[in-house]
Amino acid sequence: MMTKSDSLSGRLTTWLLTLVRVVIGWHFLYEGIAKLIASDWSSAPYLAGSRWIFAPLFNAMADNAAIVGIIDQINIWGMILVGIGLIFGLLTRWASLGGVIMLLFYFVAYPPVPGYMFGVPVEGSYLWVNRNLIELFALSVFIFISPFSHFSLDRLISRWRSEKARVPVGEAVSDNGKGIGRRDVLRDLISIPAFGAFAYALYRKRKWDSFEEKLLAIDGMDANSGATLLKFNYSTLKDLKGEVPKGFIKYRDKEGNPAEFELSRLLMGGNLIGGWAHARDLIYVSKLVKTYHTDEKVLQTLALGEKCGMNAIISNPQMGRIFQKYRHEFRGKIKFISDCGTNLDFQEGIKMSLAADWDALYCQGEITDRFTNPEWDDPKKRTVEERMELIKKGIDEIRANGKPAGIGAHRIEAIKACVDYGIRPDFWVKTCHNYNYWSAQTNQDWNDNKFDFDPEETVRYMGTLKEPWIAFKVLAAGAIQPEVGLNYAFRNGADFVCLGMYDFQIVEDVNIALEALERSKVRERPWMA
């Protein structure tokens, strides 16, 4: 005998199942419509970003334009049809099965598996179980349960057919105990107001979007803020004009055998990621840069850089934690070049960098500048020769560990001092920029506004060296346009350029570098890498 409690529980279960189905259907339908009306949506970046065990399959799909086109249509119309079916409760089992299959593909492409991270932002933290998996299991329930367990058009149609055929409908109950009651019909049609609510919400959003488009059509109105009166275009992967060429730095491995260290001609710089903004008198910028570059943002930036053909980044050993996270969780292939800059202690920087397994190491520019300068007031009271010996020992230690060893500098005099002392690294890291920007024209000798202290002598002397040259600070920490700085560096002898970039600058900067490299095929200093 059914009790009141049982009856109440049954009704609540029916309403809950109905609500779950409608909510998931709402999500599917909107995802499909959003992709349909977005003129630039493509599944290619999503497929290309997969890194789990099925990554080769998804990456191969991303590389085939015809397959991507088919997948795009399957995603759009699959989501729309599944969403409509779930909201109305029409062909619920088939709609649920379709949703389960789609969600399964989404899950295996981007699973929250320990040891794997991806370039696609997520709205939370997950461990194996994420939104896709939850919705997958929820929809699996609707494949197997009876249509009479939730209010739906399937239930109404089934009851109508049973009534028409004068076949008992089991436990179905009507207003009068004979046939389909008005209340039952209304309950089964509950999805209609739900769909109406969806349509109204979509209409309101589109109305706002249309209003926003009208505002942006007004001359001078900016997409970001009307106060800025500036327009900003975010280049994406589809705007990429080619692959960054590579060069090789020759060195010796642990066994002393000749080896080659392959580098893209354009490298990523790590200052912005680490919060070293060189913002001159703008005191808030360094904090702003650090706030922007969360771990997730850094990982996404590295992934985008790698997608654009850059295969290395230069940074400080303090960033070893996040780089190892990228290497092991993102399964990234970017090479990490450490400047070994730790409190002006080259040996300590080497120790930290080797512990984090950096791919190449060099003596940071500030260390070289100070150690080679006879006028530097060394807190430890070491002579110039003692300090030079520390640089030499550091280079020897790096080489003993089978890593390419380099020397960096801001002042060309520091490079000359190392050469005169007989220190010849595997590569140089030297600043390179002109003074054609306003903050370099001040009467002040230096105030974090100049990084190549003798541009003409830099070009002349670096042209005499046979080791590869990585140029950095080519934009004078953001004071020079990329078109100018990259052309200047490559034309004047740099084999590689290290460039600090925000994620939204990467594609554009790579395209500029490609053009600069094309113009610099013929130059005075031959390519040394």
pLDDT score of 310: 96
Going from the C-alpha of 152 to that of each of 21, 140, 475, the distances in angstroms are: 10, 17, 63
pLDDT at 376 > cutoff 90: yes
Among 48-57, 143-152, 449-458, which stretch is predicted with the lowest mean pLDDT?
A: 48-57
What is the percent of the chain with per-residue pLDDT over 70, rounded to a whole number?
87
**Residue 186, Cα to own-chain centre: how many angstroms?**
49
According to the model, what pLDDT value does residue 137 have? 95
Confidence band for 123, pLDDT divided at 50, 70 and 90: low
The mean-pLDDT minimum among 45-49, 286-290, 393-397, 433-437 falls in 45-49
Is the pLDDT at 216 greater than 70? The verdict is no
Amino acid identity of residue 176, one-letter, is: N
Residue 39, amino acid: S
What is the per-residue pLDDT for 4?
A: 57
Q: Between 435 and 281, name the one with better pLDDT.
A: 435
241, two tokens? 């004009």
End-to-end C-alpha distance for the chain, whole angstroms: 87
Mean pLDDT value of segment 342-361? 95
Burial of 199 (0-12, 13-18, 19+ CB in 10 A): exposed
Among 157, 143, 161, 164, residue whose Cα is nearest residue 188: 157
Non-local CB neighbours of 170 within 8 Å, separated by 6+ positions: 148
Distance CA 240, CA 218 (A): 30
Q: Which position has the higher pLDDT, 147 or 219?
A: 147
| Average pLDDT over every residue of 201-222 | 61
The total of other beta-carbon atoms located within 10 Å of residue 107's CB is: 19
383: DSSP letter: -
pLDDT score for 112: 84
Q: Which alpha helices (DSSP H) does 264-311 contain, by range?
A: 271-274, 285-292, 295-307
Distance CA 338, CA 314 (A): 6
Predicted confidence (pLDDT) at residue 176 exceeds the cutoff of 60: no
Q: Using DSSP bridges, classify how beta strands 246-252 and 469-472 pair: parallel, antiparallel or unpaired.
A: unpaired
**Maximum Cα–Cα distance across the chain:** 106
pLDDT at 122 (0 to 100)? 61
Cβ–Cβ < 8 Å for 303, 119: yes
Distance CA 321, CA 225 (A): 36
> Is residue 279 over pLDDT 60?
yes
pLDDT score for 278: 87
Burial of 290 (0-12, 13-18, 19+ CB in 10 A): middle
How far apart CA 433 and CA 453 sit, in angstroms, is 9
State yes or no: pLDDT of 230 exceeds 50.
no
Average confidence (pLDDT) over 54-71: 88
Integer Cα distance of 277 and 292 in angstroms: 12
Mean pLDDT within 11-25: 92
Quickly state the pLDDT bin for 266 (edges 50, 70, 90). very high
Could you tell me the pLDDT band of residue 120, with boundaries at 50, 70 and 90?
low
Q: How many CA atoms lie within 13 A of 510 on its CB side?
A: 27
Residue 228 has pLDDT above 80, yes or no: no
DSSP character string of 87-126: HHTSSHHHHHHHHHHHHHHHHHHS---TT---SS--SS--
293-329 pLDDT, tens digit per residue, is 888 888 889 988 998 999 999 999 988 888 888 888 7
Q: Which residue has the higher pLDDT, 411 or 119?
A: 411
Tens-digit pLDDT profile for residues 26-35: 999 999 999 9
- Model pTM above 0.85: no
What gap in Å lies between CA 426 and CA 328, rounded to an integer?
28
Please say whether the dihedral angle defined by the alpha carbons of residues 480, 427, 389 and 346, taken in this order, is positive or negative: positive
- Average pLDDT value for residue range 230-237: 58
Report how far residue 385's alpha carbon sits from residue 286's, in angstroms, rounded to the nearest whole number.
36
Query: Residue 452 in contact with residue 432, Cβ under 8 Å?
Result: yes
Per-residue tokens: 378: 């060394």
What is the tens place of the pLDDT at every residue in 494-515? 999 999 999 999 999 999 999 9
Answer yes or no: is pLDDT of 263 > 70: yes
Closest CA relative to residue 427, chosen from 528, 332, 519: 528
Which stretches within 145-190 are classed as H helix? 153-164, 182-188
- Report the pLDDT value the prediction gives residue 211, as an integer from 0 to 100: 56
The H or E element containing residue 268 is strand 266-269
With CA atoms as reference, report the closest residue to 118 among 292, 291, 307.
Answer: 307
Domain 248-519 has CATH 1.10.3210.10: no
Which pLDDT score, from 0 to 100, does residue 189 have? 79
Location of each CATH 3.20.20.100 domain in the chain: 248-519
Q: What angle (nearest 5°) sits at the alpha carbon of residue 154, between those of residues 152 and 158? A: 125
Q: Residue 200 has what pLDDT?
A: 78
Which tokens go with 254? Answer: 């642990």
Please report which confidence band the pLDDT of residue 192 belongs to, taking 50, 70 and 90 as the band edges. confident
* Distances in whole angstroms, Cα of residue 242 to Cα of each of 6, 236, 238, 245, 517: 67, 13, 10, 9, 12
